[in-house]
Copies of this chain bind each other. A is one copy, B any other.
Amino acid sequence: MEYTVQQLAKLAGVTSRTLRYYDEIGLLKPARVNASGYRIYGQKEVDRLQQILFYRELGVGLETIKQIVTSPSFDDVQALKQHREKLLAERRRLEALIANVEKTLLAKEGRIVMSDKEKFEAFKQQLIDENEQTYGKEIREKYGDEQVNKSNEKVKNMTQAQYEEVTKLGEEVLRVLYEAFLTGDPAGELAQKAADLHRQWLSYFWDHYSKEAHAGLAQMYVDDERFKAYYDQKQSGMAEFLRDAIFIYTGKK
């Protein structure tokens, strides 16, 4: 039995373009080409196409399929195992995406139908998520997973009053810091008040406070572009100013 492109295409449930493409990339060459330049496929090619489509069905890339079907000694089991790993990783990624979308949907819909309590829970979760998403990797690198997880735990266990407090405190730090910045003196009363407010704010996230860690974080505010951007949002140079104030507050350096 011999087939032209279209015939083989129908037989296998692909388009003729696909067959031409497979010819082009050398994945499946026709048995011969007739006088008019038509591609003619035989039984061998049909079988091979079945094989190709089988692996394609599994999501294997055409390049890999080429390896598998062209070299008989190719370790297809090994290839399949590797491919399985890729699929599993992809599934994990999807799981995370789905969870995220659903959480977002919950929060968005929640604006209307969620109770205050639930809303608050979602906000807390969002606070954690945003933190994770924005700073997670760097903080985990610099301070370790344990510290970050503890911090997240603390947020989760906050009461609503505490949550409002921490939000207000964060804003107050910025406000006082800005006033202090205008005085230009990091050792002055206002700057030291800002540093103290910052310590209070911090204590909502860290399970124990230390001057060293506080000073370290202050330095990070300057070194890390993202933190810097946050504190510089009102005025450039405020991250440095806060660092200086905290260094004085903690008696460091």
Interface on A for B, CB 8 Å cutoff? 1, 7, 10-11, 13, 43, 46, 54, 57-59, 76-77, 80-81, 83-84, 87-88, 90-91, 94-95, 97-98, 100-102, 104-105, 108-109, 133, 225-226, 229, 232-233, 236
Contact = CB atoms under 8 A, between A and B. Distances in A.
**Central interface residue in A91, A229, A233, by most chain B CB within 10 Å:** A229
Given A1-B233, A46-B229, A83-B101, 5 more contacts: A58-B101, A76-B108, A77-B108, A80-B105, A80-B108
Contacts of A232: 1
A239 to B, nearest CB: 11
Contacts of A104: 58, 80
A247 B15 CA distance: 33
B100 A57 contact: yes
B94 A98 contact: no
Give how many copies assemble into the complex. 2
A90 B84 contact: no
A102 B84 contact: yes
A94 B83 CA distance: 12
A77 B98 contact: no
A151 to B, nearest CB: 21
Nearest to A226: B11
Contacts of A100: 57-58
Nearest to A234: B1
B225 A11 contact: yes
30 contacts: A1-B229, A1-B232, A1-B233, A1-B236, A10-B225, A11-B229, A57-B100, A58-B97, A58-B100, A58-B101, A58-B104, A59-B97, A59-B101, A76-B108, A77-B105, A77-B108, A80-B105, A80-B108, A81-B105, A83-B101, A84-B98, A84-B102, A87-B94, A87-B98, A87-B101, A88-B98, A90-B94, A91-B91, A91-B94, A91-B98
